[in-house]
Amino acid sequence: MKGSSNKKKVISSNPKVLLCTAYRRFPGDYLDYVGENVYLTPRVSFKRKASPGLRFLKQNVPEIETLEFPLWHQYVRKLKEGWDVVGFSFFENEIAEVARMADEARRQGVRELWAGGYGALDEAIPRMVDRVFVGAAEDQVAQAFGRRVPQDQIQHPVMTWPLAFEPGSIPYLVIGLLYTERGCPFKCTFCQTPVFDRHRFNINIESIERVVRHYHKRGITDILILDEIFGISPQFADKLTLILARYKMRWWAQSRAALFLRHLDTWYERGLRFPLIGVETMSQRSLDSISKSQKLEEALELVRRTREKPGMYRMVYYMIGYEHETVESTLEDVRSLKSVGFDAHQVNIITPFPKTPLWSDIQKNYGIFDRTYRHYDAKYLVWNHPHISASAMHYLLNTTIATLNKPFDIYGKGFARLIRERFASDGLRFIWRDVIKAPSVAATFNHRRQVFP
């Protein structure tokens, strides 16, 4: 849940505030970033079990209470404790669940409802709640308690997601999360970040180091940096990567191919092992159509150079459904991407989201026929594509994922290469760190507990 437009003032000088994510429909109903892109088992899972938005708010405004991914009965029971304000942090595909939660809160007599997160950009939300937050909300929420949290004083929270083996959800690795820079200077037409996080700024570096130190003490060895474009602030990135190197962290980050190329040698020496880029397509025409401001040659050069770095695992975002594409041209593009040699691919269907240029363009030129909220997870065709039907796009999604993310390639080749290269470089340290320590830490870690280092 993140910044703000008001419809009325908070009803108390010291309100009792509960902030929630959308509820889970069943116990295993966590977003699995791997499971939605790899269909077969055995495989790994990477489940969202902590909400970065709520963690930041609780870290900086401890007066609030948070409830992350509750089951419905847990949410209803929590409401019975009595609250002046109940707020929700959510994405577009979770609006139906949030609407039900809002109705229940009203039924139980909650006097004020808040909404934040990317889903709060939807035009239906102001009619559902009393106050909508857009962007970083630490300061706005703190004001409800009579104080301020300036941007340069925002403190970073501890937050982790688990990496496990499926079937069985067997814990293997705890991934520590960092979110070090808000906003993005690029204007990709499909992305909500430019309108959601309108102000770019870095999180307090001292608080980030405290969190990294805490991860290190808890035995966490891998960190995922959630910034939209890591390295866009060079001096800050230099300080941060030195911290990661000091604590011997192996880290993952998403950025532009050009930025990875510029800093690859230095970042590799400081622990970068999992670079992630939005390659989006193998067609420069398609890249230009979404204002990606990226050259296809940069992605290809990144593949070449990372092959020279032992222990690197390259991941990409990829989209299908560009307006000029057909079924045949899409399949040809998929084959081109497969031949490049990335290790893993997150595949999405081009989806218009509220307040983006893509939303306006598609509404004007083609029309949006599907407003089912759960279909706005980038896995459904929700607009009138001129060349591809909804059923054909579903076929293309399944075929693309099956082609790009074959378990044998991801695990048999990719992971086997990682294990071989790590053992060659680290020897017995690899056995201790990756075979003994990592699973032991993961087996005893409570991802739902928020701590304040």
Examine the domain organization and report whether 341 and 234 are in the same domain: yes
Cα 48-54-59 angle, rounded to 5 deg: 120
Rama region for 221: left / alpha / beta (φ>0; ψ in -120 to 50; rest): alpha
Query: What one-letter code names the amino acid at 47?
Result: K
Q: Residue 205 — pLDDT band, cuts 50, 70, 90? A: very high
Q: Are residues 137 and 184 in the same domain?
A: no
| pLDDT tens digits along 384-397 | 999 999 999 999 99
Read off the pLDDT of residues 409-420 as tens digits, 9 standing for 90 and up.
Answer: 887 777 778 888
With a cut of 70, say whether residue 5 has pLDDT above it: no
Return phi, psi of residue 241, to 5°.
Answer: -70, -30
Residue 308 located in a structural domain = yes
User: Is there a domain that residue 352 lies in?
Assistant: yes
Note the pLDDT of residue 41. Answer: 82
Q: What's the pLDDT at 2?
A: 47
Region 111-126: what's the mean pLDDT? 97
Q: Kindly tell me if the per-residue pLDDT of 3 is higher than 60.
A: no
Same domain (yes/no): 203, 343: yes
Give the number of other Cβ atoms within 10 Å of residue 265's Cβ: 13
Banded model confidence at residue 10, pLDDT cuts 50, 70, 90: very low
Residues 140 and 191 in one domain: no
Burial of 448 (0-12, 13-18, 19+ CB in 10 A): exposed
Identify whether 422 is part of a domain.
no
| Residue 194's pLDDT band (cuts 50, 70, 90) | very high
Residue 387 belongs to a domain: yes
We report the CATH number of the domain holding residue 190 as 3.20.20.70
**Whether the predicted pLDDT of 301 surpasses 60:** yes
Among 304, 202, 207, 311, smallest CA distance to 257 is for 304
Residue 429 clears pLDDT 70, i.e. is over it: yes
**What's at 39, amino acid-wise?**
Y
Kindly indicate the confidence band of residue 12, based on its pLDDT and cuts at 50, 70 and 90. low
Least confident of 35-49, 216-230, 253-267: 35-49
Last residue of a domain, one of 362, 379, 405: 405
Residues 164 and 49 sit within 8 Å (Cβ to Cβ): no
- HSE-up of residue 420 (Cα within 13 Å, Cβ side): 9
Is residue 138, in this structure, part of any structural domain at all? yes
354 preceded by a cis bond (ω within 30 of 0): no
The count of structural domains within the chain is: 2
Cα–Cα distance, 293 to 187 (Å, whole number): 8
Q: What is the pTM of this model?
A: 0.94
Residues 74 and 213 reside in one and the same domain: no
Q: Are 2 and 137 in contact (CB under 8 A)?
A: yes
What 3-state DSSP class applies to 221?
coil
**Tokens 């997160």, located at residue:** 117
Question: Is residue 90 assigned to a domain?
Answer: yes
What is the tens place of the pLDDT at every residue in 51-82?
999 999 999 999 999 999 999 999 999 999 99
pLDDT for 62: 96
Write down the H helix ranges in 308-451.
Answer: 327-340, 357-365, 390-404, 407, 416-426, 428-430, 438-444
Domain, as residue range, for 82: 5-38+49-151
Same domain, 142 and 17: yes
> What is the spatial distance between Cα 422 and Cα 306, in angstroms, rounded to a whole number?
15
Q: Give 239-283 pLDDT, tens digit per residue.
A: 999 999 999 999 999 999 999 999 999 999 999 999 999 999 999
Same domain, yes or no: 249 and 290: yes
Question: Is there a single domain that holds both residue 351 and residue 204?
Answer: yes
Q: Give pLDDT, residue 1.
A: 53
Quote the CA–CA distance of 178 and 227 in Å, as a whole number.
8
Kindly report the average pLDDT of the chain as a whole number: 93
Last residue of a domain, one of 363, 378, 405: 405
The verdict on residue 448 lying in a domain is: no
Residues 122 and 258 in one domain: no
Residue 225: its pLDDT value, please? 98
Instruction: Please state, in angstroms and rounded to a whole number, the distance separating the CA atoms of residues 18 and 324.
Output: 46
Closest residue by Cα to residue 116 from 72, 64, 153: 64
Q: What is the CA radius of gyration of the chain?
A: 22
Amino acid in the structure at residue 379? K
Using pLDDT thresholds of 50, 70 and 90, give the confidence band for residue 406: confident
- Mark whether 142 and 209 lie in a shared domain: no
Report yes or no: 398 and 36 within 8 Å, Cβ to Cβ. no
- 240 with 300, same domain: the answer is yes
- Indicate the Cα dihedral angle 265, 227, 238, 210, nearest 10°: -120
Percent of the chain with pLDDT over 90: 85
Q: Is residue 221 part of a domain?
A: yes
Are 86 and 187 members of one domain? Answer: no
Give 89-108 pLDDT, tens digit per residue.
999 999 999 999 999 999 99
pLDDT at 45 over 60: yes
Q: What is the CATH number of the domain that holds 31?
A: 3.40.50.280
The C-alpha atoms of residue 385 and residue 220 are separated, in whole angstroms, by 45
